[in-house]
Structure formats: C-alpha cells, structure tokens
Structure 1
Amino acid sequence: MQNRSLSQGIFRRSLTGAALTGVMLVSQAQADVILHAFNWQYDDVAEKAEEIAALGYKKVLVSPAYKSTGSQWWARYQPQDYRVIDNPLGDTDDFKAMVAALEAQGVETYADIVFNHMANEASQRSDLNYPGVAVLDEYASRQSYYDRITLFGDVRNGLFSGNDFHGTYDPQGPQCISDYSNVGDVQYNRLCGAAPDPGLPDLDPNNWVVEKQKQYLQALKDFGVTGFRVDAAKHMTNYHINQVFDENIKQGTHVFGEIITTGGAGSAEYDKFLAPYISQTGHDAYDFPLFAQIRNAFGFGGSMTALVDPGAYGQALPGDQAVTFSVTHDIPLNDGFRYQLLDAADEALANAYVLGRDGGSPLLYSDHNESGDGRWQDLYKRDDIEGMISFHNETQGRSMEVINYNDCFLLFKREHVGVVGINKCDTGQDVWVDTSAEGLWWYRNYQDTLSSDVQYISSQWHNFYLPGRSARMWLME
C-alpha cells in the first residue's frame, strides 16, 4: 500500500512554472517495443512468431546463441565457442529458422552478446584453451553435423588460448574485481564468486580475439539479426567495444549496452561507466538512470514529480539512446540486485509509464519463471501489456506534454491522440483539464486500452478521473 499521507489529487497546475505552461517533451526516436524472450528455446520463439507480431512487438531479443552447456539460465552467459550455435535452446539451424519465422511476420531479431569473458571451467581443467579438448572431441565425433552448423572458421582446431586472456587460472595469477568503483579493476579483472573461485576468464582485446568476435557478429547479421545487446558492457573497455563494433558491423543494426547504475548524472557509476560508454561508443544503453527515478517515484514516500521530466537534470538518457524498462533479467535472478524490484502493482504502473511516454525503446521481459516469483511468466501476452503496447504503437512519433501532476499522479498527453494517467496512491484522483488549452479534440471518445473506461470530451473543462493504484491509457477513437 502507498503512503496515504501524500497530498491527494487536486488541480495543481500552479505547482511550478513548468506545470503552469505544460512540460513539452519531444523525441524523434522511433521506439519499437522489444520483447526480451528470456531463455526461450529458439523453436518456441519461431512457433510464436505470428502471435508475437499480432501483440504489437517489433523486435525480439533472444538469449546468447553459441556453444554453451548446462541447463541453468546463467550457463547461456558462459560461452565456450562462438563458431557454432549449440546449446539447450537450440542449434544453428533452429536459430536461422527462428530469424526467418520472425522476419516473415515483420519482426526483427536481436541477439544477446557476451564478449567480456568465456566459461568458467577451472573445475574441469587448468588451461585456458577454448573450447577445450572435450568439446573438440565432441565435434570430431559428429563432424558432419558440426560442419553443417559452423558459423565460421574450422572447428577441428581451437578458438582461443591462454594468450587471449588477462591472467591465468593460477590462483596467484588471476585477479578478481575487488573495487567496483575503480574503472581499471572493473574492466581488466575477473568477475568471481566466493573464494577460491578464479572467476570468468577475462578476454584480452587483441587482434585475434577482436577478429573472431567480429566474424561471429557478421555471421549473425548474415542470418538477418538486426540488433545486439552487449552484456556486461561495464566490464569491457570502450576501446574493445569500438574495435569489435566497427562501422561495418554497426551498419543497419541497433547496438545497446548493459551498464547497471543506481542513478544518473552525479552518481559515481553513471559518471565513470555509463556516460563514457554513451559518449565514446555512440551506442544506446539500458536507461538505468530513468529506472532509478521510477523506483524513487513509486517507492514509499516518493513523488510522481520525479517522472515529469527526469532527462532535464540528467536522470534519464536521451530518448534516442535509451532502452527503457521496469525490470531486466538480472534484477529478479541475482540476489545482489533483487532490492531493485518494484512492488508488483507498482511495476504494472511503471510499465504504463514506460510504454506511454515518448523516448526510448521499451523492453519487456518475459520468462519461464526462472526466478520463482511467477510475475514474468508469459508476461508478453498479458492483457494489460497488450493494451499498453497498443497505446504505444498508436502514439509512436507523437510528442509528449505533461498536463498535470502532484505527489500521487502524473497526467500527460501524446498530442491530441492519447492521454496517460497514472495514480500511485490509494485514493482516486480528480484531474480537471482545460481541453481547449491542451488541444484535445471535442465530441470524440477517448477509450482506455487497459479497461472499459471511455472519456467523451464535450466541453472546455473535463475531469480525467484516476482510480486509486491504477493507470489509464486513453486513445482517441
């Protein structure tokens, strides 16, 4: 439940000068909705391609596609070999068929990319030769099959050796990250578990490594992949990223990095990692600054004023460089990030904000209950999500203007086409709007995509009532 002591809904256009005149937010970004089909098998995505398209998604981000073993979701983030796609989610043939099935429905495929490290196999062997003798023997035992699913190179030979990594598996050699505020420590040393775990072998961006990574990306592009999510970009130097994602690779693709921060401008993580990544690579990124504002706004005692124009003071990425969200896979699946989870009801309201606003490419996470929470299983087709996507697609490219707000609610419009109202408090809010000043059309129905509510505007002053703990996304009919 929310703090009932927060100021309740009243007509408050006098809150600030910005509120008096309206806050106009304009973005030219064409922000198609991305479905993060987390840990879905490739043939499952292919089978659902028509449904995914009908729900309004334009892109699908799939889990890392290369050689990896182990049934756990995190095993997909421990690559053994880039040269073949062969893991519990499918093989090269399945991946190609999935891309084709999505493309036939007008939906693009995005691939999750792990280039910072290779699999932690210290418990199996002491060398850093990848994919290792056991995997090479597996290839040899089924040579015709692996020849068929090879993306590039010759799988009769190894891919990487000890010369391609920072450090060794020698307990005296590898360095685990000890200071996450130190850029060099974070980008040159290893992600490790509890001692004596030697961690994930950290790749050195030498010419050989860079060339193999580029060959892998080009192979996926040749299949029809049009976007790349750079996992753990915080742990790679921008030099490495720019060497791999050269102009040829970036041509015709959407590249965005994952750099987790707890805030925007002024926070150490933003200033040391995210801001340099954006400026030095030109890539997009997860909008963790905006997510921090969302958490603050919906948190106990927080105020919806935090969401009026967060970008104005560096608490949101520019709209044309942002991937926006209410949850990412790391938050529910890693104990160290679960503190960032929103209350389930607040997350639903946050989704309305992310999909209703202008700016950023919204990403929706949908899993098979890997976390055990049950909240995101089949989320992609939930009724409220379908309604939000419908609103987003109908208003895409329309400018956004905040009409009214207070601690409890935020009301904004997308030109005359749509109106979004979000009320975080328990008590309903009466929000009176001067429809003439706001340019809303008279004698037209505005139908809520989330409920049966219809607003018929027929006079200058109109009350957009917002029930407690709810969102409305009204589209003009």
Structure 2
Amino acid sequence: MVFPEQDPFSALPLITSQYDPAGSPVCKCWLRSYPMISPVAENVIVKGRPWWERYQPVSYNLTTRSGSESQLSDMISRCNKVGIRIYADVIFNHMAAFTGIGTAGNKAMSDDKIYPGVPYTPEDFHPTCNIPNYLDPEVVRNCELNNLRDLDQSTQNVQLRIVTYLNKLIGLGVAGFRVDSAKYIATEQLEEIYSKLNDLNTSFFPPKTRPFIYQDVPVFVVFVDSHNNQRNGQILNYQTLKQYKMALAFMLSHPYGLPRIISSYFFHNKDVGPPQDSDENVKSPIIYSDGSCGNGFVCEHRWPQVRNMVDFRNAVSGTEIGNWWSNNEQQIAFSRGSVGFIAFANGGNLTEKIQTGLAAGTYCDIISGSLVNKTCTGKSVVVDGKGVASVRILESDFEGVVAVFVNSKK
C-alpha cells in the first residue's frame, strides 16, 4: 500500500484509546489519517500500570485495557467504513519479562519461559543472554532485550503462532502493522513471516492488496516524537510547545517521507500510563465543541496548526522545494512550487523581504489563524507582483512559523 504526499500517513499512536464507540476518538479523527493503535495483544499487568506494560505480551489474545476482541473488531470496521485505516502495533520479538497475570487472565511464567495462553514453552525461545554489544547482529538478534524473553523465530511453531496472530488481525480489517523491536529479529525470518501473511480483507480493500508493514526503525516514516522517546527529556514534545509546533510544521511542509504525528496524554514522569480512574480503568478523551480534547489527553493531531499544515501538505503535493532562504541564524524559509510558502524563526526577529513563489495577493497565515469567511483570523502575508512578501516573525510571537498557501488566499 502506498501513501502519496497528498494522503499523508498520519499515524496516531492513541496509546490510551478505548475501542468502545462511546469513547473512542479513533474513527473521528480530524485528519484523513491512518491511526496506529497501541499493541492489541494481551499484556502482563504491571503495578502502577506504566505505558510500557502494553509491550510485555502474555499471549495473542486480543483483550487489553482498550477493550475486548469484539470491541476491537467493531472499531476497525467502523473506521474502515469512513475511510480511516487502522494499523496495529505488534510485538513478536519477545514475550513478557515479568511473571504475572495478563489482561485476559492468562499467566506469564517468565522465569520458566512458559506462556500457556499462546502456548509457548522453553523450546520456543533463544537461550538467556544479555546484549553487551549492539554492533554484533548475531548477539542483538539472539539475546534478550531488557530481560524480555527472546523468541526463536526460526522455528516453525513460533512462526505459525505469529502468522496466525497477524492474519487474524488482517481478517478483522487492519491495513497493516508497525513491527516493534524488528531490528532484534533476523531479516530472513521477518521476510519469511511476511511472505505467509494473507492479503487484506476484501470487505474493506481491493482484491490482492497486501498489508503495509513498517518496522520500529523506518527510513521512510518521519516523526518528531513517538510513544517510545517522548519522555526521555531530550525530544521535543508538547511541553516545549513553540519549538514542537515548529518541528511539526517543518515535517509536514517538507516532501520527504511519510509523516507520523503522535496523539498523546499529559505525563509527569517517563513511566506514567494513560489517564485512569481509581479502579485503573482507562479514561476516554473528552472532545470539546471546538475540536480540542480533555480528560488528561493532549490530542496533538487536533491542534489547528497541525490540521492546517496537513491541508498545506495535501495542496503542495508533487511540488519541489524552491526559493530557499536562510540567514544562517536559525531562520529559514522556502516555497513549495507556486502553491505554498513557509518561514521559521528559531529565535530572534525575522523581518525580511523573501521570494515566496506565490501569485500576488493577500494570504492568511495558517499557523496563527485561518481563512474564515474571506477574513484572516491571524496574521496575513501580502505578496507583490514579483512573488515577494515582507515576512515578519518576532521572537515574542507565540508561534515561530508563518505558513501560507493557495487555499489560504483571501
């Protein structure tokens, strides 16, 4: 499956999303998007319910904090009917590092490498060993990541269990997968597993459509932050709001890759799980009349700046970067053909006359506002007959970006 620029791959890892139609925002995305849902397989229950417990599989039973198999199936079907394609985050490099009970009631006996809910027995795993050298592919692929019990994907039994699991999801209507920890699995074993997957469900997709698969270190999927690195203190996220929105705007304005936008919740430490009530039930986002959300959720994909930049990206599809401008002081600007123009100022005041590549006219900035009833609700940019505009971004401005395109012309 191909995702051209005009149909951006805006995968939204809705880590906390409920499958239940009363609470799930997945099928009501403001973007024409391709949500990536959190791991759908049963995981071990960890004290405190950290976000990463979803990456500690116990079985391939489709019961998690997000809901049951029937609720998952219903959500996928509803989303497909409105053109929202679902991608599942799947884990088959390993099984849980903890001994305990899973979200579907199955046991994980990690010390003995026994997982009855699959079932897996010690013969299905590589020998226990750590990974002291990440430059040695044999060690990386055959030893344990953070004590997670490393499956031996070269065995027929393990491959059968994995393929059965993935094909079940295909049957429910998913469009593809993000394969977690794929770099810890031998390439030839991944290829063998992928070759055994069914075509997508013809109730939702054309015949002979293959599942779209991308791995945890993709070279063509681009993103600013992810569920895995968002909390490490070194990545831009909603807590660094101005620069974060600048980075998202750059990603969506640049033609490279398939952009992925996270949709997350507020957090105060690196382990905190999704918003929950006193009984550890996951809360659902509250969607307000203006399209924003609450109840502990950030919903970055619903920000007006993100929505508008997706429109920008769709409009400039097929055009090249042109009229590159930079003052070598973290201020840049460029056009996308004769369709769009964007400028960034990461500090300092930007007050320059710059070639935009656009036709003469007045354009509404889609970062500080929008074009509403032929009026700009934010800044406006006036382009003269030569395509030049006076671009103004002050360091004191709330936004460090100005973006205009043909559809924002008054």
- Measured against the shorter chain, the TM-score band is 0.7 to 0.9
Q: Which stretch has the larger CA shift, 349-358 or 414-423?
A: 414-423
**Structure 1 181/39 Cα, relative in aligned 2: closer, same or farther at 3 Å?**
farther
Aligned counterpart, 2:130: 176
CA distance in 2, matches of 1:344, 1:360: 23
**Structure 1 122/258 Cα, relative in aligned 2: closer, same or farther at 3 Å?**
same
Runs of 4+ deviating beyond 4 Å: 27-30, 247-251, 370-376
Q: Secondary structure at the match of 1:59?
A: coil
Aligned counterpart, 2:228: 330
Matched, 1:38 2:15: yes
Q: CA deviation at 1:77?
A: 0.5
Aligned equivalent of 1:190, options 120, 144, 153: 144
More helix by share: 1
**Is the Cα contact below 8 Å between 2:31 and 2:301 reproduced in 1?**
no
**Is the Cα contact below 8 Å between 2:163 and 2:193 reproduced in 1?**
yes
Deviations along 1:209-235, one digit per CA (max 9) or x if unpaired, are 112211111111111111211111221
Aligned equivalent of 1:417, options 328, 335, 339: 339
Matched, 1:381 2:302: yes
CA distance in 1, matches of 2:405, 2:213: 32
Matched, 1:366 2:263: yes
**Is the Cα contact below 8 Å between 2:381 and 2:391 reproduced in 1?**
no
Aligned counterpart, 2:42: 67
CA distance in 2, matches of 1:448, 1:184: 52
**Structure 1 324/208 Cα, relative in aligned 2: closer, same or farther at 3 Å?**
same
CA distance in 2, matches of 1:97, 1:241: 29
Q: How does 1:18-417 map to 2 (within 5 A)?
A: 31-43=8-20, 47-49=24-26, 51-52=28-29, 55-70=30-45, 71-82=49-60, 84-122=61-99, 125=109, 126-130=111-115, 132=116, 158-167=118-127, 174-192=128-146, 199-205=147-153, 206-246=155-195, 248-249=197-198, 251-259=209-217, 285=218, 317=219, 322-333=220-231, 337-341=232-236, 343-370=240-267, 372=269, 377-407=298-328, 408-417=330-339
Aligned counterpart, 1:441: 359
The aligned amino acid for 1:181 is L
Q: CA deviation at 1:468?
A: 3.3
Number of residue pairs matched?
A: 343
- Where does structure 2 lack aligned partners over 5 or more consecutive residues? 101-107, 200-208, 273-295, 369-377
Aligned counterpart, 2:380: 454
CA distance in 1, matches of 2:382, 2:256: 28
The aligned amino acid for 1:388 is M
Q: CA deviation at 1:32?
A: 3.1
Aligned counterpart, 1:277: none
**Structure 1 187/429 Cα, relative in aligned 2: closer, same or farther at 3 Å?**
farther
Q: CA deviation at 1:51?
A: 3.3
CA distance in 2, matches of 1:252, 1:473: 37
Q: CA deviation at 1:402?
A: 4.7
CA distance in 2, matches of 1:366, 1:44: 18
CA distance in 2, matches of 1:29, 1:409: 27
The aligned amino acid for 1:177 is I
**Is the Cα contact below 8 Å between 1:422 and 1:466 reproduced in 2?**
no
Q: CA deviation at 1:416?
A: 1.4
**Is the Cα contact below 8 Å between 1:166 and 1:188 reproduced in 2?**
yes
**Is the Cα contact below 8 Å between 2:252 and 2:309 reproduced in 1?**
yes
Q: Which stretch has the larger CA shift, 351-360 or 119-128?
A: 119-128
CA distance in 2, matches of 1:216, 1:464: 57
CA distance in 2, matches of 1:458, 1:112: 49
Aligned counterpart, 1:152: none
**Structure 1 29/475 Cα, relative in aligned 2: closer, same or farther at 3 Å?**
closer
The aligned amino acid for 2:319 is R
- Where does structure 1 lack aligned partners over 5 or more consecutive residues? 1-26, 137-157, 168-173, 193-198, 260-284, 286-316
**Is the Cα contact below 8 Å between 1:46 and 1:97 reproduced in 2?**
no
**Is the Cα contact below 8 Å between 2:97 and 2:148 reproduced in 1?**
yes
Q: CA deviation at 1:465?
A: 0.8
Q: Secondary structure at the match of 1:177?
A: coil
Q: CA deviation at 1:44?
A: 6.2
The aligned amino acid for 1:471 is V
The aligned amino acid for 1:228 is F
CA distance in 2, matches of 1:210, 1:402: 52
**Structure 1 246/464 Cα, relative in aligned 2: closer, same or farther at 3 Å?**
farther
CA distance in 2, matches of 1:426, 1:184: 49
Q: CA deviation at 1:406?
A: 3.0
CA distance in 1, matches of 2:161, 2:190: 13
**Is the Cα contact below 8 Å between 1:188 and 1:235 reproduced in 2?**
yes
Q: CA deviation at 1:200?
A: 0.7
**Is the Cα contact below 8 Å between 1:448 and 1:454 reproduced in 2?**
yes
Deviations along 1:397-439, one digit per CA (max 9) or x if unpaired, are 4333352123222212222111111111222231421x6xx4x
CA distance in 2, matches of 1:386, 1:107: 16
CA distance in 2, matches of 1:46, 1:226: 22
**Is the Cα contact below 8 Å between 1:404 and 1:412 reproduced in 2?**
yes
**Structure 1 177/341 Cα, relative in aligned 2: closer, same or farther at 3 Å?**
farther
**Structure 1 57/129 Cα, relative in aligned 2: closer, same or farther at 3 Å?**
same
Q: Secondary structure at the match of 1:365?
A: coil
CA distance in 1, matches of 2:318, 2:12: 20
**Is the Cα contact below 8 Å between 1:428 and 1:465 reproduced in 2?**
yes
**Is the Cα contact below 8 Å between 1:66 and 1:85 reproduced in 2?**
yes
The aligned amino acid for 2:213 is V
The aligned amino acid for 1:383 is P
RMSD over aligned Cα atoms: 2.6
**Structure 1 89/461 Cα, relative in aligned 2: closer, same or farther at 3 Å?**
closer
**Structure 1 94/396 Cα, relative in aligned 2: closer, same or farther at 3 Å?**
farther
Q: CA deviation at 1:248?
A: 4.4
Deviations along 1:68-94, one digit per CA (max 9) or x if unpaired, are 232332111111111x20111111111
Sequence identity (%): 22
Q: Secondary structure at the match of 1:242?
A: helix
